[in-house]
Chains A and B, each alone.
Chain A
Amino acid sequence: MLLDRRLLRNLDYSLVFAVLALCLVGFMIVFSATRGGIGPGSPQDPLYFVKRQVAAFILGTLACAAILTTDYRLAERAHQVLYVGNVGMLALVLVMGHRISGAQSWFRLGPVALQPSELAKVALILTLAHHLSEAQDITTHRGLALAFLHAAVPAGLVLLQNDLGTALVFCGITFAMLYVAGARGKDLLAVVGAGALASPVVFFFLLKDYQRARLLAFLNPYADPTGTGYNVIQSTIAIGSGRFFGKGLFHGTQAQLNFLPAHHTDFIFSVIGEELGFIGAVAVLTLYGLVLWRCLHAAACAKDAFGRLVATGVAAMLLFHVLVNVGMTMSLMPVTGIPLPFLSYGGSSLMANLIAIGFVLDVYMRRQKILF
């Protein structure tokens, strides 16, 4: 038997529970948000989106199980394949990818659209963890620069797809992993400072018009309430109107009546806030807290640097997603189209996250150095 009983005993069941709970909530909310259609041309089957989400969940869980059967260090050994494959995929999607709402980040495979940038995050975590766990000295400027360069190639390709949000996630992951790997705090701060100084240049010369509009809409959503600010206003109304107990599942008027755009994907947290209220929303945040705590705990218990950095990277990725996505629905963050882990409708994202959790579980399960 590949999966040793003793190993299974070391599985982090609270992490499994939290992730399963989030996925179940996700199914429920996706159903609530899509059962009446999501606007003109939506599929007839009220379960269409849920079925696809469940299918992605099953595939993701199988992948997760496959990871658990093998030692995560196998992935370390395959780091070159992973990195080249990752960069290759991202480059390929730029050339022959499918464009959905302004971002060229999808591969169309029959009825399934695959978003390589979701998997790219996990791939980056794995390759960067290997890069940093090798004897590279990231306290030197050269070492630090090499580490950033490692992340910058895939991040740059994602940026070329017009997917600013995901590129920012790459940054978040990289910073967290560098920090845990032992980079000097002041070096990291200096990089952040340089980024801040460069931001006007980025804002005026590198961003696309719609990205600029989104950022401006974040600063004042009511400047253009029917245009760029619309999503944020509608989402804030949806969450606020949920009040303490929410309007009840399937009873969120904002979402059910389609006032809220993209409410099954990027703005799913608004539906949670509206239908499940403060109680439900805080419960979901608590589940995320549990997941993040267990990830960081796995990192702390990991038997090697690679495992520690993988778990750290996954935690950083999830944290960044939660912060930016949930913040965006409450107009704390600018609108960037990044999904809420385990909850947002989207197969690529769900599978990528389940694979990531698979690695964290594996790191934790194989934390003891000597097995009997």
Chain B
Amino acid sequence: MAHLAMATGFLLILIGAWGALTNRNLLRMIVAFTIADTGVNLVIIAVGYMRGRTAPIIDGAVSAADAVTRIIDPVPQALVLTAIVIGVGVTALMLAYTYRLFEKKRSLDIRDYTDLKG
């Protein structure tokens, strides 16, 4: 299960990277990046997964005393939450940029934005 998730995650990353490198359209590139981000998140979750354990919530079902042996590692899940938030932020910023770019040149083709070079 974990291996499958991890493989899927890496596959998503590769798809995303491929998409970001081959699509000329700014919006498509952003979509590609969100796919890659999702892949990364999946990988992180998969790394934290431990077979046969339960969610890291300490309540009636799992007492604090035996948490160490019963729950999966909570840290990657916490990291993923942060990563998701950051990913949303960056995506929003990129979309805002795309809006500004489109306003200026009425084009979504990355090749039209090469004024600065060399």
A binds B: no
**Residues of B that sit less than 8 Å from A by CB:** none
**Residues of A that sit less than 8 Å from B by CB:** none
